[in-house]
Amino acid sequence: MRTFLLKRLPSGLLILLLASFLVFLILRLIPGDPATTLAGPDATPATVDAIRTQLGLDQPLFSQYVHWLGHLLTGDLGPSYAIGGQVSDLIGNGLAATVQLTLGALLLVVLLALPLAVLGATTRHRAVAATVQAVTTAVLAVPPFVTGVLLVLLFAVTLGLLPAGGHESLLDAPDLAVQYLLMPALCLALPSAAVLARYLKNGIDRALGEDYVRTATALGVSRRRILWQHALPNALPPAVTVLGLQIGQLIAGAVLVERIFAWPGLGQLIEQGVLRRDYPVVQDLLLLVVAGYVAVQLLTDLAYAWLDPRVRWE
């Protein structure tokens, strides 16, 4: 395992360095800078220049880049330019919210996909199988921002069961936090659950068609036992890879879902950061997203190896 990690780490670091350069450069290419945002709509050019100097934006680009990397290495992210507060606090809070949302969604993905897939693969009724197929296909065909607003109208406005939007910390008030979490997590989870369910169902189908299953059935092993002990374990490892890819999709989808449900996560923070040209926030955050992706890829490979003993730590 150590050699596995040693082999993967350097390329991960290379990606991070590349990403840092790209992120820095793209941000400076965007017209307008934090000084214009901070100066407000009725500022004079003198005000803007004063703020620019104060923020060090009059320095040459290369030295700004080196300055930033230096701060990153010491772990001091510094203050945000436009949003206010320390970058580390902003990212910390946003990360906590997004992790809650993504984990909630992930849990729902598995809770929804597993039964659906098993149902679709094992049912003897054609109608049930067709319904499962239709539901998973239909979910994929409706844009998430429409699903989100429909969920709000149904559960919050019409039924009054759940809050329309907002966020509560899982540590402070877990019972309330779960209610705030339910709708955005569901909205985020639905498309991924559909993808996973179909993938898993195909996997189970394939496994059930294998010779050893037929042999087992002939030997009188019960259907349930075959499913849980043979078919499902064989269908899981590739599904985990799909799940790993879906995590990336979940984070991407979070940008939309967070906007609809006023969820103060990283998606909102990035959007605000770009819209206000808050360089430090966007730079650090995007780098974190890249790092997170690299880590998730690594973890997926590890999980895959854990679930499928054929894969060795090479």
What residues between 138 and 167 interact with other proteins by CB under 8 A?
Answer: 138, 140-146, 149-150, 152-153, 156-157, 160-167
**Residue 126 binds to other proteins (criterion: CB under 8 A):** no
Rule CB under 8 A: choose which of 43, 103, 119, 305 binds other proteins.
Answer: 43
The residue within the footprint of other proteins, chosen from 2, 3, 6, 40 (CB under 8 A), is 40
Instruction: Encode 236-262: b = buried (16+ Cβ within 10 Å), e = exposed.
Output: bbbbbbbbbebbeebbebbebbbbbbe
CB of 268 to other proteins, least distance (A): 5
Q: Which of 185, 276, 279, 283 binds other proteins (CB under 8 A)?
A: 276
* One of 119, 176, 298, 303 touching other proteins (CB under 8 A): 176
**Rounded least distance, CB 289 to other proteins, Å:** 7
Q: Does 217 engage in binding with other proteins (CB under 8 A)?
A: no
**Judged by CB under 8 A, which of 26, 61, 66, 299 binds other proteins?**
26
What character string, x for contact with other proteins (CB under 8 A) and - otherwise, covers 227-266?
Answer: -xxx--xx-------------x--xx-xxx--xxxx-x--
Binders in 68-107 for other proteins, by CB under 8 A:
79, 81-85, 90, 93-94, 97, 107
Q: Which residues contact 272 (CB under 8 A, 6 or more apart)?
A: 83, 278, 281
Question: Toward other proteins, which CB reaches closer, 15 or 99?
Answer: 15
- Phi, then psi, of 220 in degrees rounded to 5: 90, 15
Total chain residues near other proteins (CB under 8 A): 109
Q: Under a CB-based contact definition with an 8 Å cutoff, are residues 93 and 263 in contact?
A: no
State which of positions 181-200 bind other proteins (CB under 8 A): none
Q: How far is the CB of 264 from other proteins (least distance, A)?
A: 3
Q: Cβ closer to other proteins: 42 or 314?
A: 42
Using rule CB under 8 A, residue 286 touches other proteins: yes
3-state SS record for the chain:
CHHHHHHHHHHHHHHHHHHHHHHHHHHHHCCCCHHHHHHCCCCCHHHHHHHHHHHCCCCCHHHHHHHHHHHHHHCCCCECCCCCCEHHHHHHHHHHHHHHHHHHHHHHHHHHHHHHHHHHHHCCCHHHHHHHHHHHHHHHHCCHHHHHHHHHHHHHHHCCCCCCCCCCCCCCCHHHHHHHHHHHHHHHHHHHHHHHHHHHHHHHHHHHCCHHHHHHHHCCCCHHHHHHHHHHHHHHHHHHHHHHHHHHHHHHHHHHHHHHCCCCCHHHHHHHHHHHCCHHHHHHHHHHHHHHHHHHHHHHHHHHHHHCCCCCCC
Q: Which stretch binds other proteins (CB under 8 A): 58-66, 67-75, 120-128, 224-232?
A: 224-232
Name the residue nearer to other proteins (CB basis): 21 or 70: 21
Q: Which stretch binds other proteins (CB under 8 A): 1-9, 60-68, 69-77, 305-313?
A: 305-313
- Out of 72, 274, 302, 303, which residue is the one contacting other proteins (CB under 8 A)? 274
CA distance 111 to 114: 6
Among 98, 100, 102, 272, which residue sits at the site for other proteins (rule: CB under 8 A)? 272
